[in-house]
A and B are shown apart, each in its own frame.
Chain A
Amino acid sequence: MKIHQLSVFLENKPGQMIGPCRLLAREGVDIRTLSLADTQQFGILRLIVSDWKSGAALLREAGYVVNVAEVVAVEVPDRPGGLFQVLEVFENSAVNIEYMYAFPFGRQDRAVLLFRFDQPDAAITLLQAAGMNVVEDVEVYNRIET
């Protein structure tokens, strides 16, 4: 149910992004989606890749500090209110969203939202009880083309 996300520490200065991306390109690891958090001093490059295990190993071997975190993917209709209906599920719960980002899913009318929850298991239970489509990791790693 949970998706493995790689995070890479980068300093906030020119030329930092290219290193990890060059490495993944050369080794044929596909980036499904990414988000970049930035502060004045440093950045965190968060990646969902086609093969997280070899992606993490490659980056670590090259000397990057890599963190693997579990995020939850929810498929929603790509129209007004798609994100809102998911947020409603958590409106009165104790579950906190640490951060989130989104990407289109290869199907025209659908999008996938990626959430980093403080309590991922509780979040999944709530989502499923509300009838949300929590996407399996296989589906995210192997992009569905229909």
Chain B
Amino acid sequence: MNEFWDTAPGCFHPASAPDYLPLPQMRELQLRRLQAVVRRAYDKVQLFRSRLEERGLRPECVRSLDDIVHLPFTVKTDLRDTYPFGLFASPMQEIVRLHASSGTTGKPIVVAYTKDDVEVWTSVMGRTLAACGLHKGDVIQNAYGYGLFTGGLGAHYGAEGLGATVIPISGGNTDRQIMVMRDFKVTAICCTPSYFIHLLDRASDLGVDIRDLSLKIGVFGAEPWTESMRRHIQAVSGIKAYDIYGLSEIIGPGVASECCCQNGLHVFEDHFFPEIVDPATGEPAPEGAEGELVLTALTKYAMPMIRYRTRDITALETEACGCGRTVRRIRRIGRRSDDMFIIRGINVFPSQIETALLTIEGTLPHYQIILTRHKGLDELEVQVEVTPEVFSDKVGSLEDLNARLMRALEQTLGLRAMVRLVGPRSIPRSEGKARRVIDRRNMQD
């Protein structure tokens, strides 16, 4: 039987009820859960226990939410150093699922879930999809990768929990994705934003106009993207493109999501407590200021994660959202403190380069950053694909385009960057996360 909310407009869904909890109740719930998870980590996880003891702290020291700032941080290397199971708080008999991240260097990191953890994950991912406007009756093409990566199964369970129809197509095989999207009358897709742009390009090659299909919602995450990319996606495909956020160390996708207002991502605070700190000092940032997001998984049982340094740069928005949710929002994450590269002493984020490129009409979001070193001097080259909109038969027009791109980059970055116009489709397309920066500085003199 259909309930009224299955077809109700807007983004309210009963699964979303905790998103609307009055603040005093929310804070009280968070405190209770924080105290419980700190106690559990202290009792079960050696690393956490010894770090508390080093500081002369005991679990009872957490008397208010403000006391969280006294607790030690957990960082990514803690997961590597204790590989594979060193941070687990549950015996393997109680663990029903393991996931692992593909480490780019050395060992991967492993995360664990009890049956209850999987249920929490399902509920928060359901709340994510509900916030993006999905209901029972929606047909969701889940193009996140299935496997050790948390994206595929996280979105899958959330969508099933919501009562929607899931197509577990996983990533890759773009032609088949387009066929399924059309033939199965898909209404929503979950994937990385850069993969969706790749899919739009391919659809256009195949003569398929996404606007003619029933697709109306995109649930995009797993990599930083920008407002300009959203505008491009929405204009070309006619869908609403939503940004979602999550990370394996905390639970996977389902930590935070945009709502119908598309103005910041609501953190599901009853499970994930957010803080913003100065990435350099670790000190709490002033209210509303930008800094590194630190998350505590308040209810995670198999692997308690306390004050985890996400490396994602954002700010907490505290003012009320138009959708009526009371849970706080994080600003769209455009950059990570570890995506940042330093060139000639200047910190540069790929998102800044994208912002500069998109001020010039007709440069599609296909670009790549090449870092090289010649005679000890770092050089930054941005390769931009030539599109029919900007191409001209006159050398002067292309040189002018090149000069305008260089000026836009120099204004945004405060340093000189070389621009190289390259042929269409010459920059490798990603089937997962876009690889924006190629750093060749270590391979050279």
Contact = CB atoms under 8 A, between A and B. Distances in A.
A98 B388 contact: no
A41 B421 contact: yes
Nearest to B385: A65
B388 A67 contact: yes
Most buried by B among A7, A65, A98: A65
Interface string B375-404: 000000000001110011111101100100
B422 interface: yes
A91 to B, nearest CB: 22
Contacts of B399: 39
B426 interface: yes
7 contacts: A7-B391, A9-B421, A10-B423, A67-B391, A67-B393, A99-B395, A116-B394
Contact of B424 (A37, A65, A69): A65
A139 interface: no
Given A39-B399, A65-B387, A44 B393 contact: yes
A41 B395 contact: no
A41 B405 CA distance: 15
Contacts of A90: none
Given A66-B388, A67-B388, A9 B395 contact: no
Contacts of A64: 423-424
B394 A65 contact: no
Contacts of A65: 386-388, 391, 423-424
B425 interface: yes
A64 to B, nearest CB: 7
Given A39-B399, A42-B398, A44-B398, A69 B393 contact: yes
Contacts of B425: 63
Interface of B: 386-388, 391-396, 398-399, 402, 420-426
Q: Which 8 A-B pairs have the closest CB atoms?
A: A7-B393, A69-B393, A65-B391, A9-B386, A37-B395, A67-B393, A67-B391, A65-B424
A75 to B, nearest CB: 22
Interface string A64-86: 11110100000000000000000
A11 interface: yes
Contacts of A46: 393
Given A9-B391, A63-B425, 5 more contacts: A7-B393, A42-B398, A44-B398, A65-B391, A98-B396
B423 A9 contact: yes
Nearest to B398: A42
Nearest to A69: B393
Contact of A11 (B387, B394, B423): B423
B424 A63 contact: yes
B391 A98 contact: no
Interface string A1-33: 000010101110000100000000000000000
Contacts of A42: 386, 398, 421
B366 to A, nearest CB: 12
Contacts of B426: 11
Contacts of A63: 424-425
A11 B395 contact: no
A37 B402 CA distance: 16
B423 A44 contact: no
A99 B394 contact: yes
Contacts of B386: 9, 42, 65
Nearest to B393: A7
